[in-house]
Structure formats: structure tokens, C-alpha cells
Amino acid sequence: MSLLQRAELAPADPILGLTEAYNKDERTDKVNLGVGVYLDEDGKLPLMAAVREAQQRYLAKGLAHGYLPIDGLPAYREAVRDLAFGTEVDSSRIVTVEALGGTGALRIGADMLRQLAEESTVLVSDPSWENHRALFTRAGFTVDSYRYYDQDARGVDFDGTLASLRAAEPGTVVVLHACCHNPTGYDLTDEQWDRVVDLIAERELFPFIDMAYQGFGAGLEQDGAVVAKFVAKGLSFLLSTSYSKNFGLYGQRAGALHAVCADADEAARLLSQLKAIVRTNYSNPPAFGAHVVATILADDALRAQWADELEHMRVRIATLREQLVAGIEAAGVTDMGFIAQQRGMFSYSGLTTQQMVRLRDEYGIYGTNAGRLCVAALNDGNLAHVAAAIAAVRA
């Protein structure tokens, strides 16, 4: 009897499993609001002009496909480090390793923390990106949650967040969303971040910041300012970044893990450990996406073009939110104006699992069972259908 016979059927992934089901759906008016992917006015995944130009430049060189170093393309590592931290920071104490998207960065970070702090618990927000809990659990941690979302007030339960963090043991790993909280779309204010940073320092908690949506919240610099607060406080922490969304490089798996250390010596030790983790998992990261990002960030004109395109996406999503609210109101449901207040790609709609299943079964509209809808996939062609369907399942 083969060992393989012991495998049990695992449930479909709560997010990517929706795409699988959507792809099989034969209805022509189906809409995938499950996964966080930005689609343009025509419902297509856009190839950003800056990305097109950078990839043409790279391909024109006619390079063969060699291995990258274990920790990734040096020019990419520097460029994304500067994007996340700015150029003023003491870079000798920051380690940046290229990773397989934001998820890959979280995973190598989780594996490293597990090696260093086997006894620590990991706290994720309640609710959080579905994969946070799964990923840290698979890395061997006990995962618990801190209070975050206030369903009645439609916003952040900030007193709850503070109370949870205050109650956490020193050394607890706290996973924080830098911006565009996934799934709720509610971020902390500037002042609230200051208080969280102070409390983390006071309680000696260990921050692991996840920044998958830089540029989709308040803007590129504003979103990155959260990270600067942790640096300014002198904290050591991990930061995962993704260029899937803000460069539209989803399939290239361009991400990075940054470790902000006490000093250069600690940074060197961290880097050696991260390299061992990468080497034993996938040896070294892919090159193409890294070259594209590095090319754009190193060229003033391309970088400006990219930032403009990103800003267009950010502003357009805000408009889509307003249009969705108007559409739902026109269909008779008047208490969902909060959708326009949320930020980033997602709206936490407040719809129940049963209503989400109805959206899927009766209308071909796919969102997560927890009620998350990707508003960044709306357009003139599907918005009325989505608004009417939401109103219908709420009726």
C-alpha cells in the first residue's frame, strides 16, 4: 500500500478556490469578486505601461536565464528596500530578501521566527486575510487573534485592539496590515498607529507587518509612512511586501521580506539564516518580475509613470465604491454606505455566509464566505448586476 493513500481531501482554498469555481461557471454574467485582483474598465487585468516598457527593455537584452543569488536580484533588493523604508534610513541594519510574492515573504519570515522563537504565539487580527492563520499554523505556531473589527460601528474596534495587545505576552508575534486591511478595508488612523507602536514597544511584542497593497490606501508615501513609525521607534521587526498588486505582477511572484535588526552584525546573521531557509525550500527566486520592478524603480521617468498609473487605480477603486453604494441604494438597500468609507481592494460587506452563497449560486457573483468582495474587479459592465444582486440577497 502506498504512503500516498493516506492523503485526505483538503478543503478548497477560501480565496483561490473561488477562482477555481468561477472558472468552471458557465454563466456569461458571472463576476469574480473573490481574489484581490485589480481589473480595468474593460474587466481585463491591465499590463501597466511602465511594466510593459521595463519588460521590453529587459527582453531586448536577450539575456539567458541564469540563477539569481539565493537572496535575490541585488538591484531589486535595494530598490524595494528603498521603496519600503525610504533612503534616509540606516540600511546596514536592514536585510531584504527577494521572496515569492507577499505570501512567500510571510512564509520565509514565519519559518525564521519559528526557528528563533518556538514558544511564541502569533496574533492575527480578527478577522484577517484567510491565509495568515493557515500559513503561521503550518509553520508550526499557535495562532490566536487580536480584536480589530467592530461590526456594529463598521470600523476598527480600537479599544479592543489595544486591550488584546496589552494582554499579550512579551515575545508574541503580532501580524499587522500596513494599509488596506484585508478583508475589512478599515485602517488605523495615524494617531492610532502611534499608540500601537508605543504599546508594542512597551509590551515587547514582535511586529510582523504585511504590506501587500502599498499605494492603494492613501497613496504610496502615506501608506509607507506606517513602516517608518516602527523604524523611528527603534523597533526590530519583519516586513513582508508584495509587488503583485501595485505593479500588476501577480504571476511573477515578486515580493520581499525585510528584517529590521538591531545592528549590522545581527543583520548579517539574519541574512545567513534566511538564505538557508530559501535554499532548502526553492533554492533561489525567479528573475523576471524582479528585473521589471528594479528597472522601473531605478528610472525616474518610468517610476513616475508607474506611480501615476498606480494612483489612477487607487482613485478609480474609490469611485467604484461610490458607484456600488449608489447602485445598491437605487435597488432599495440604503444602509451600505460604509462601502465607500473602506479602503483598498476589498469591501467587508457585512453579508452573511448564506447571503454570499446565494450571490454565488443564484447570481454567479463570487466573494468569500466571510462577506469580502473585491471592489477592484467592478466595472461599468458588471456593477449594476452586482448592485442588484446584493440588494436582492439583502431583501
Q: Please list the active-site residues.
A: 129, 210, 245
Task: Please say which residue, 126 or 299, places its beta carbon nearer to ligand LMR.
Answer: 126
Among 120, 125, 128, 182, binds ligand LMR (CB under 6 A): 182
Least separation in angstroms between residue 351's CB and ligand LMR is 17
Between 15 and 375, whose beta carbon lies closer to ligand LMR? Answer: 15
Q: How far is the CB of 35 from ligand LMR (least distance, A)?
A: 4
Minimum CB–partner distance for residue 250 and ligand LMR (Å): 8
CA 344 remoteness from chain centre: 10
Among 22, 85, 129, 363, which residue sits at the site for ligand LMR (rule: CB under 6 A)? 129
Which of 131, 323, 379, 382 binds ligand LMR (CB under 6 A)? It is: 131
Minimum separation from the CB atom of position 236 to ligand LMR (A): 26
Q: Which is nearer to ligand LMR, 36 or 371 (CB)?
A: 36
Using the rule CB under 6 A, is 15 a contact of ligand LMR? yes
> Minimal CA–CA distance to 81: which of 297, 277, 289, 295?
297
Quote the least distance from Cβ 103 to ligand LMR, whole Å.
Answer: 6
Smallest gap from Cβ 344 to ligand LMR, in A, equals: 10
C-alpha span between 228 and 59 (Å, rounded): 35
Query: For residues 170 and 251, which CB has a smaller minimum distance to ligand LMR in the complex?
Result: 251
For ligand LMR, give the closer residue by CB, 93 or 183. Answer: 183
**Taking phi first (over 0 means left), then psi (-120 to 50 degrees means alpha), and beta for anything else, what does residue 248 get?**
left
Is residue 342 a contact residue for ligand LMR (CB under 6 A)? no
Please state the closest distance from residue 9 (CB atom) to ligand LMR, in A. 21
Q: Is 35 in the site for ligand LMR (CB under 6 A)?
A: yes
Q: Distance between CA 280 and CA 296 in Å, rounded?
A: 30
The answer to whether the bond into 207 is cis (omega within 30° of 0) is: no
| Interface with ligand LMR in residues 204-223 (CB under 6 A) | 212
Q: Where are the beta strands (DSSP E) in 118-203?
A: 121-126, 142-147, 149-150, 155-156, 173-177
- Three-state DSSP at 395 gives coil
Rounded CA separation 101/249 (Å): 9
C-alpha cell recorded at residue 262: 538591531
Name the residue nearer to ligand LMR (CB basis): 165 or 176. Answer: 176
Number of shown-chain residues binding ligand LMR (CB under 6 A): 8
CB of 347 to ligand LMR, least distance (A): 13
Out of 36, 217, 285, 286, the residue judged to bind ligand LMR by CB under 6 A: 36
3-state SS, residue 222: helix
**Strand-pair category, 142-147 with 206-211:** unpaired
What is the distance between the alpha carbons of residues 246 and 235, in angstroms, rounded to a whole number? 27
Q: Give the footprint of ligand LMR on residues 84-103 (CB under 6 A).
A: 103
Rank residues 184 and 295 by Cβ distance to ligand LMR and give the closer one.
Answer: 184
Binding string to ligand LMR for residues 319 to 338, with x set by CB under 6 A, is what? --------------------
Minimum CB distance to ligand LMR smaller for 242 or for 305: 242
Quickly list DSSP for 133-157.
HHHHHHTT-EEEEEE-EETTTTEE-
Q: Which residue is nearest to ligand LMR (CB)?
A: 36
- Residue 98 CB coordination number (10 Å): 30
* Residues of this chain, 246-265, that bind ligand LMR according to CB under 6 A: none
Task: List b or e across 160-192, with b for residues whose CB sees 16 or more CB atoms inside 10 angstroms.
Answer: ebbebbeebeeebbbbbbbbbbbbbbbbbeeee
Cis, peptide link before residue 14, omega less than 30° from 0: no
In angstroms, the CA 120 to CA 143 distance is 9
Strand partners, 95: 259
Q: Which positions touch ligand LMR (CB under 6 A)?
A: 15, 35-36, 103, 129, 131, 182, 212
